[in-house]
Amino acid sequence: MGWGLRIIAGALVVAGATAGVGVWGVMRVMAPGPLEQPESVVIPRGSGIEAIAITLGDAGVIDSPLLFVAGSKLMGLMGPVRDLKAGEYLFPAGISMEAVLEQMRQGRTVVRRFTVPEGLTSAQVVALLDKEPALTGELGKVPRNGALLPETYHYAYGDSRASLVERMQTAMTQALAEAWKGREDGLPIETAEQALTLASIVEKETGVAAERARVAGVFLNRLEAGMKLQSDPTVIYALTDGSGELGRTLTRNDWKFESPYNTYQINGLPPGPIANPGKASLLAVVKPEKHDFLYFVADGTGGHVFARTLPDHNRNVARWRELQQSRPGGHGETSSD
């Protein structure tokens, strides 16, 4: 007899006996179950107790859907079980029917994690969301760059992509407001949006956490002095139309590319963020390191070497180019006059 017929037949027995599973049945409900190793099971929304029992039986979590239904009704009369919640559950090996019912009553579902790396464009974040099979629904318009806070977000199986994006947007709004509220006086930026734009540039310029405040200080010094920012990531953003990585080394001709985002061509900040910066970059911009550096160039180790004058910077650039020549295929970044 299949599970469905057994459930129907059992339901008649349960109805007639008011869930009277007897002492033997109660013992079985409380005894260790047949599951030999942890098993993840998805209980769809709207599932009734019979459908839940069939799903658990098919997954090998329980060995008697009939007894599970009877046990749930009995435990319901005793108080603990009222309604079993849908979702994704991870059941441990040997879990009893009683423990399954309790876990589902409390809704202790699997907590999934989605991490947004710092410095991605919104289009890249959406592409990652599209690859998450546990999320549902499609996203419409891609959020603007700078609208999503890079962070790890917890979610449950069946949550919508739109709801997760909304949480990212709310988190960025809160993080930016908090950072801007705590900004230092005298910064050469006037709005939180400008801070967000500069933070996105800082995010793309360095992956070294200890450098963020120093790099931010360079750009703020240049803004204060009326110098162009000359940030390579803004050129890459312009050349790729914000789609992602360029895939090759920038050339001097690239610096001449006309775009409102090319900071080798425009004065001041670009029209908006070029990526989604994290909290650390936001804080670096509003609380920068105090110094008189105006230039920096890659040092070959993932960090940068900083300079106060153009001649010093040119010497640093020359050393970097020598290093590039010794490493075929390598490329770096500069911020220079």
Task: Mean pLDDT check: name the lowest of 20-34, 229-243, 244-258.
Answer: 20-34
Q: Same domain, yes or no, for 190 and 130? A: no
Task: Output the furthest CA–CA distance in the chain (Å, rounded).
Answer: 94
Q: Is it the case that residue 44 has pLDDT exceeding 70?
A: yes
Domain annotation covers residue 177: no
Last residue of a domain, one of 126, 146, 172: 172
Average pLDDT over residues 259-284: 96
Q: Same domain, yes or no, for 221 and 137? A: no
Q: Is it the case that residue 176 has pLDDT exceeding 60?
A: yes
**Cα angle for residues 321, 301, 210 (degrees, 5° grid):** 125
Residues 285-334: pLDDT tens digits? Answer: 999 999 999 999 988 778 899 999 999 898 988 888 887 777 655 444 44
Q: Is it the case that residue 22 has pLDDT exceeding 70?
A: no
Q: Is it the case that residue 7 has pLDDT exceeding 50?
A: no
With a CB cutoff of 8 Å and minimum separation 6, the contacts of 89 are 40, 41, 42, 43, 103, 104, 108, 109, 110
Half-sphere exposure at residue 140, Cβ-oriented, CA atoms within 13 angstroms: 2
- Angstrom distances, CA of residue 182 to CA of 185, 208, 277: 9, 23, 17
Domain annotation covers residue 315: yes
Looking at the structure of the chain, the number of domains it has is 3
Domain annotation covers residue 178: no
Domain annotation covers residue 84: yes
Q: Same domain, yes or no, for 195 and 330? A: yes
Q: Same domain, yes or no, for 50 and 148? A: no
**Cβ atoms < 10 Å from Cβ of 316:** 21
pLDDT value for 20: 47
Supply 78's token pair. Answer: 């005793």
| Residue 43 main-chain phi, psi, to 5 deg | -100, 110
Q: Is it the case that residue 5 has pLDDT exceeding 60?
A: no
Domain annotation covers residue 212: yes
Q: Is it the case that residue 256 has pLDDT exceeding 60?
A: yes
**DSSP letters of 20-37?**
--HHHHHHHHHS--S--S
Q: Same domain, yes or no, for 235 and 118? A: no
Q: Same domain, yes or no, for 220 and 296? A: yes
Q: Same domain, yes or no, for 119 and 200? A: no
pLDDT > 90: percent of the chain: 65
Q: Same domain, yes or no, for 126 and 195? A: no
Helix (H, G, I), strand (E, B) or coil at 43: strand
**Cβ atoms < 10 Å from Cβ of 105:** 17
Q: Same domain, yes or no, for 215 and 331? A: yes
Task: Provide the H-helix boundaries in 79-211.
Answer: 97-106, 122-130, 161-181, 192-205
Domain annotation covers residue 130: yes
Q: Sorting pLDDT into bands at 50, 70 and 90, what band is 335? A: very low
With a CB cutoff of 8 Å and minimum separation 6, the contacts of 137 are 160, 161, 162
String of b and e for 319-332 (b: at least 16 CB within 10 Å)? Answer: ebeeebeeeeeeeb
Q: Show the domain range for 273.
A: 184-335
Q: Same domain, yes or no, for 24 and 91? A: yes
Q: Which of 218, 224, 274, 222 is nearest to 244 (CA)?
A: 274
Domain annotation covers residue 179: no
Q: Same domain, yes or no, for 99 and 117? A: no
Q: Is it the case that residue 249 has pLDDT exceeding 70?
A: yes
> Structure pTM?
0.81
**DSSP letters of 164-185?**
HHHHHHHHHHHHHHHHHHTPPT
Last residue of a domain, one of 83, 106, 129: 106
| Residue 115 main-chain phi, psi, to 5 deg | -105, 130
String of b and e for 109-133 (b: at least 16 CB within 10 Å)? Answer: beeeebebebbbbbebbbeebeeee
Q: Sorting pLDDT into bands at 50, 70 and 90, what band is 21? A: low
Last residue of a domain, one of 90, 106, 122: 106
Average pLDDT over residues 251-263: 91
Q: Is it the case that residue 11 has pLDDT exceeding 80?
A: no
Q: Same domain, yes or no, for 204 and 311? A: yes
Top pLDDT among 157 and 323 is at: 157
